């Protein structure tokens, strides 16, 4: 995840919109924004997934779409394709993993302590 620039924060204005879902995880507070006509759409237009992590220092971090697409993992049930980074419609916790379900029918897994992308499965 990358710190969001002041310029980007002025464009997306996350404080003006209530997030759809909030998860408290060891590395901070994860907020999911939907639908696409607000903060989430502006994040995606800027090249980020539509969630923001506020880390323990208060820094706002975003997940670059290119980082997901360029991660060398095998997508379960769809071997041979690159990971899907369509907008996220839901997030939840299971054990030590953050799960994110994407619009295009994929479920991504992230490490709960670092939000590192660790896997993906096609679920539709």
Give the pLDDT confidence of 17-50 residue by residue, as tens digits: 889 999 999 999 999 998 777 889 999 999 999 9
Residues 67, 116 contacting (CB under 8 angstroms): no
How far is the C-alpha of 48 from the C-alpha of 59, rounded, in Å? Answer: 16
Neighbours of 96 (CB within 10 A): 10
Q: Is 24 helix (H, G, I), strand (E, B) or coil?
A: strand
CATH of domain 2-122: 3.30.2020
- Contact partners, residue 114, CB within 8 Å, separation at least 6: 27
pLDDT computed for residue 115 by the predictor:
95
Residues 62, 32 contacting (CB under 8 angstroms): no
Confidence band, pLDDT 50/70/90 cuts, at residue 114: very high
pTM to 2 decimal places: 0.91
pLDDT computed for residue 93 by the predictor:
97
């Amino acid at each position: 995840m990358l710190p969001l620039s002041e310029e980007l924060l002025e464009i997306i204005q996350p404080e003006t919109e209530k997030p759809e879902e909030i998860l408290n995880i060891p590395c901070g507070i994860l907020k999911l924004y939907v639908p696409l006509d607000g903060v989430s759409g502006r994040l995606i237009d800027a090249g980020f997934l539509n969630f923001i992590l506020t880390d323990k220092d208060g820094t706002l971090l975003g997940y670059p779409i290119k980082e997901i697409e360029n991660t060398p993992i095998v997508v379960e049930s769809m071997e041979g394709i690159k990971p899907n980074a369509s907008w996220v419609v839901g997030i939840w916790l299971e054990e030590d993993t953050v799960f994110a379900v994407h619009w295009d029918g994929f479920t991504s897994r992230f490490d709960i302590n670092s939000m590192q992308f660790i896997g993906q499965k096609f679920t539709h």
